[in-house]
Amino acid sequence: MADVALFSLYESKQGEFGVRGAGLDRFKSDFLTAANRAINQMNRDADLSGWGQEISRVDSVEDTVTSLDVIYEDVFSWGITVYLAALGQRLARGADDQLSAARRNFESGIHGMYMDLMNRAIAADEDDEEDFIGLGALG
């Protein structure tokens, strides 16, 4: 599992939201808030703490997001977009449909993370005390 460097996402979101010059300080603050809110939602909705996979919060755009596998960087990126828009940042012109897609992709991506963890748990289940059936457990 590789961790995710936040700075490359920060730079890409600057372009996605068309931020330049005077608005950069506010954008940086909003970016960190959005990143932490996306992390909170991913931790909560995919029950990452229950799986021992909780993602760490960030304090700086130079931070590395630990415990977030690089294969889920896209999910995290969509979440940042959603929360940046909720904080009042506007997407660059011509990207109106992008926010709706980001919302859908973020929600389905979190569900996919949860299902990946569930599938790993099922594959690793070597005892006969408890069997997984569908999304529940038969004890």
Where in the sequence is the domain holding 88, given as residue range(s)?
4-138
Identity of the residue numbered 70: V
Q: Please tell me the distance from the alpha carbon of residue 31 to that of residue 17, in angstroms, as a whole number.
A: 11
- pLDDT > 90 fraction of the chain, expressed in percent and rounded: 63
Q: Please tell me the distance from the alpha carbon of residue 3 to that of residue 63, in angstroms, as a whole number.
A: 10
Q: What is the model's pLDDT at position 137?
A: 57
CB atoms within 10 A of CB 113: 24
What torsion do the CA atoms of 97, 101, 103, 106 make, to the nearest 10 degrees?
-150
The pTM of the full predicted model, rounded to 2 decimals, is: 0.85
The number of distinct structural domains making up the chain is 1
In this predicted structure, the answer to whether residue 60 has a pLDDT above a threshold of 90 is yes
